[in-house]
Chains A and B, each alone.
Chain A
Amino acid sequence: MNSPVDVGRPFRGRVFRYGDHVNTDVIFPGRYTYTKSSPEEVAPHALEDLDPTFAGRVRPGDVIVAGWNWGCGSSREQAAVCLRAAGVGAVIARSFGRIFYRNALNNGLLAIACPEAVEALEEGTEVEVDLEASVIRCGETAYEFSPFSPAVRSMIAAGGLIEQTKRRLAAV
């Protein structure tokens, strides 16, 4: 397991490119869903059935760039947790499966819909992701994405949905 990157500040990493309709079964196989849950347990299995070399190569701040409907299929939250725990800072895709999208943001993994960046970014390229400015930078080029809502930003700043809910319940 790599230490998760602070996505609230601009971070840099390399691009890992994948295709369309990458489902949560190949991101985190179903055979582990009821026996492995913690970040330490799930990180080594990230993308196991899509790219068995991924977990050994990924470093903190790296980003996944993919096509349509990334994370479709099962609701398993480990699909987001394993990527985050493996060090991935953001998944940049044309679109996302809706439960994965929620799971990702709830766990502080940026899920960014940005077709222009997907079009342009190549495997191994180094990029910078800036949540505050809603921009992905690659060399001289900047790709803007739709800003996250204040509520989502504050949740990410709080450390995710669980940390945010703890504070909310403590405040009652």
Chain B
Amino acid sequence: MTEVGRPADTARTFAQKALARASGHESVAVGEIVDARPDIALSHDNTAAIAEIWCQFGQQRVAIPERMAVTLDHAVPAPTVRHARNHAEVRAFVAEQGVVHFFEVGRGICHQVLSEEAVVLPGDLILGSDSHTPHFGWLGAFGAGVGRSEMAVIWATGELWLRVPESIRIRLEGALGEWVTTKDVALALIGDLGADGALYRGVEFEGPAIAGLSLDSRAALVNMMAEMGAKNAYMAPDEDVFRYLAQRLLTRPGRRPGRGAKPGEASGEVAARLRERALYPDAGAEYVVEHLLDLSFVQPQVARPHQVDDTVDVGELESVRVDQAFIGTCTNGRLEDLGAVHRVMAGRRIAGGTRMVIVPASSEVWNEALARGWVTDLAAAGAVFGTPGCGPCMGNHLGVLAPGEVCISSANRNFQGRMGDRGSEIYLASPAVVAASAVAGRIVHPREVTE
């Protein structure tokens, strides 16, 4: 990770290295504007709207069909005829243009699916018409969100201008305590630094605590940096990440050169190639600010309506009655999250007057939860399940809220009206806190229902 002997003035951040590679430069300076060529261009249900913009360019074919990744996830299965038409337009477009990576209704949320499918690799630049695209930093990729018009321009030209951001370094030490998760770490950070604490900036995590975090936990933390305003977020990929991707590449042949496994290749060889692709910041790279966080001091957090940075220790929250508990999203809809919910709820019942919606982040998560018997146990506890996808996170369907209702959610945003009526309220927390709150009928620490 460190390159001994490199002069300090040429030490570079991950963001500098990733954007230099993507723009074909030897090195780039912070603040420099580069024309970057993304390795992957992500879009989802908004693909049809982007296609409509792209059509104005008069091209017959998109410039980068092999780099495009399209997932139907935001309102699936179609809740209305208008949504159904939108999906139909997306399907027709990807078929006509030969988009290589297309994932149907029910496969899951774009960020989770492109991770599971090993579409995004360490050292990549991925631009997405989705604000949680920084998610891919958990794989050591540079992910950033862009608008629909910008995505149309990427399809047409294969590139987009980007400013090389200043970066913040956050060093993680210690270990998570009982019932504490990286969601709590993320909320604690956002509470401290503010919803604009990383505005326009890259966030680079480092430190000894990372090796002790599961891959699902890493993804949740990096994902949430979008709520701190970050342009991208990054965690140094280690052998766990390379193994995860290598296994998946071996079962998914036919990727374009340099991005897949070769026939007969051993897992270790694929992992070695991924290791070579990976980018790491230099020792001595310049950061605008550096923070140190000891994970052992973090307590389960709750973000109160309507701001993600209005956080409080769950134990300090006044009594809040809960109408709906929601588990899911690109932040906390993975297997580990469902495991935490199962740990809290198996053999217990959801409180009267409270309901619970669980939407797995992907079909892989759903299938594994089924195989482990968790779905049966959680259904017995009173939870209902939705199709893998974004669920009610942005108020489209599958559990929207009525005026005056309160939801405790494992999602990433508690903005006014986001999950339904503008008179409803969203509290954000970890899956364990959400599950405990469903059982108690009010927001509580998981200890309160498990001990």
Query: Which residues of chain A have a CB within 8 Å of any CB of chain B?
Result: 21, 23, 25-26, 29-31, 33-35, 37, 49-50, 68-69, 72-75, 77, 80, 95, 97-99, 102-103, 106-107, 151, 160-162, 165-166, 168-169
**Cβ contact within 8 Å between A74 and B394:** yes
In the assembled complex, B304 has its CB within 8 A of some CB on chain A = no
Q: In the bound complex, do residue A77 and residue B149 qualify as a contact, i.e. CB atoms below 8 Å apart?
A: yes
| Number of B positions contacting A (CB below 8 A) | 49
Query: B102-110, B193-201, B342-350: which lies at the A interface?
Result: B193-201
Instruction: Find out whether the CB atom of B147 lies under 8 angstroms from the CB atom of A30.
Output: no
- Nearest-Cβ distance from residue A171 to partner chain B, whole angstroms: 12
Listed in ascending order, the chain B residues whose CB lies under 8 Å from chain A are: 45-46, 49, 52-53, 56-59, 74-75, 80, 82-83, 86, 128-131, 145-150, 152-153, 156-157, 161, 195-196, 199-200, 229, 231, 307, 309, 394-396, 400, 413, 415-418, 420, 422
Given A25-B413, A72-B196, A99-B146, output 15 extra A-B contacts at Cβ < 8 Å.
A21-B195, A26-B415, A29-B395, A29-B417, A30-B396, A30-B418, A31-B394, A49-B422, A68-B196, A69-B199, A72-B229, A75-B128, A106-B150, A161-B149, A165-B153
Which 5 pairs show the lowest CB-CB distances between chains A and B? A30-B394, A69-B196, A103-B147, A49-B417, A75-B131
**In the complex, which residues of chain B have a beta carbon less than 8 angstroms from the beta carbon of A69?**
195-196, 199, 229
Q: Bound complex: CA of A107 vs CA of B140, how far in Å?
A: 32
**A103 to B417 alpha-carbon distance, docked (Å):** 22
How far apart are the CA atoms of A69 and B190 in the complex, in Å? 14
B147 near A106: Cβ-Cβ < 8 Å: yes
Q: CA of A166 to CA of B229 in the docked complex: distance in angstroms?
A: 31
Contacts of A34 in B (CB 8 A): 45-46, 49, 74-75, 82-83, 86, 396
Evaluate contact between A25 and B418: CB separation under 8 angstroms.
yes
Report A139 CB to chain B, min CB distance, Å: 31
A99: nearest chain-B partner, CB-CB: B145
CA distance A162 to B154 in the complex (A): 11
